[in-house]
Structure 1
Amino acid sequence: MELFLTGVVLKPKGLKGELKVKPVTDFPESFLRRREYYVGKTPKDVVLRKVQSASFHQGFAWLVLEGAGSREDAEALAGCGLYVTRDALESMPDDRAYIHELIGLEVFDEAEGRVGKVSDVLQMPAHDVYEVDTGNRKVLIPAVEDFITETDLQKGIVTLRRFKEFL
């Protein structure tokens, strides 16, 4: 089963097991709708937990999960990830993509042809950066309109301009 990280448990609040969660999703409001998460330190050691209550305040989700009804139970979950399955992911607008959809795309330069594959997407404060594996080395390309001219998930390609500037 493929799981996707959607939040990280930061710390407990109060005595009844409420958890402060940092969203790592473009859809933080989804924390108010989701009824279950796979919870664990890694995707390999997760346990399915139902949501008993959820709220959102000042950029953080506040959850009470089944089986974590005390402060001690909640403290044990600090640092855990909250994961969802692919079918539980929110639909992206047509001009956006999930990171897992971008990794593996073939990368082409408008003038040079194929230059490599997207091997990772780094989330930086200003914008994402695509790590492109050329076969010889990895090159970082800012994911901005000045360099990325097209991303076509159906064709499995990213087209850029001025790739040689990054070599």
Structure 2
Amino acid sequence: MPTGGRSGAFILLGTVVRPHGIRGELKIRPHTEQPANLCRYRRMYLAADADGEVIECTDVRARVSGRLIILKVPGCTDRNRAEQLVGWHLWLAASDLPPAGPDEVYLHTLMNKRARTVDGRVLGTIRELLGGGQERLVIREGENEYLVPAVRAFIAAVDDDEVVLDLPPGLLEMNR
């Protein structure tokens, strides 16, 4: 992963799943709600793992292909090199994200904030964001841990230190 660790300085966009064609293009499984947004970024990073090699990719070209993204990065010019990158992760510097709109929130900005419900129940601190289809916030306080779907409908308010959640009845008990 690029310098900065998982502290929020970089956002995981996707994973290289296989080469595409013979000219070094990569098929990416996106980890974002709006995969087409990957097409707007021109600088991204490829990293094998948290402590491994990092490749800064500038002048990146991307296009949507079904549920995958086809990515062309300079320096990856043939299928052999593309095969070497299978399993690597695609990252974006958080500073390269466009500003969030008035009713939008970037999930990475919720990390380490206190979480409470609209009725005042303190749940703990948001410690992780789990992907894999539906993203979930991992909220911990002592021995208690809650997994809450990271959907806009459940986020009532966000300020500098706290996230207020409006959750359906029974959700916390079911995801504890």
Q: TM-score, normalised by structure 2?
A: 0.75
1:8 correspondence with 2:15:
yes
Counterpart for residue 55 of structure 1: 63
Aligned residues: 165
Counterpart for residue 23 of structure 1: 30
1:33-71, Cα deviation, whole Å (9 max, x unpaired):
222211111254311123454322213221221111011
Deviates more, 1:50-59 or 1:35-44: 50-59
Q: In the alignment, is the contact (CA less than 8 A) between 1:40 and 1:82 conserved in 2? A: yes
Question: 2:171 and 2:23 mapped to 1: Cα distance?
Answer: 57
Q: In the alignment, is the contact (CA less than 8 A) between 2:39 and 2:63 conserved in 1? A: yes
Counterpart for residue 156 of structure 2: 150
Sequence identity (%)? 23
Task: Pick one of 89, 111, 132 that aligns with 2:139.
Answer: 132
Q: Which is richer in strand?
A: 1
If you compute each CA radius of gyration, which structure gives the higher value, 1 or 2?
Answer: 1
Amino acid at match of 1:8: T
Task: Pick one of 38, 41, 44 that aligns with 1:34.
Answer: 41
Task: Pick one of 115, 121, 134 that aligns with 1:107.
Answer: 115
Amino acid at match of 2:44: Y
SS in structure 2 opposite 1:39? strand
Pairwise CA RMSD of aligned residues? 2.9
Question: 1:21 and 1:88 mapped to 2: Cα distance?
Answer: 19
CA deviation after TM superposition for structure 1 residue 3, in Å: 1.7
Gaps of 5+ in 1: none
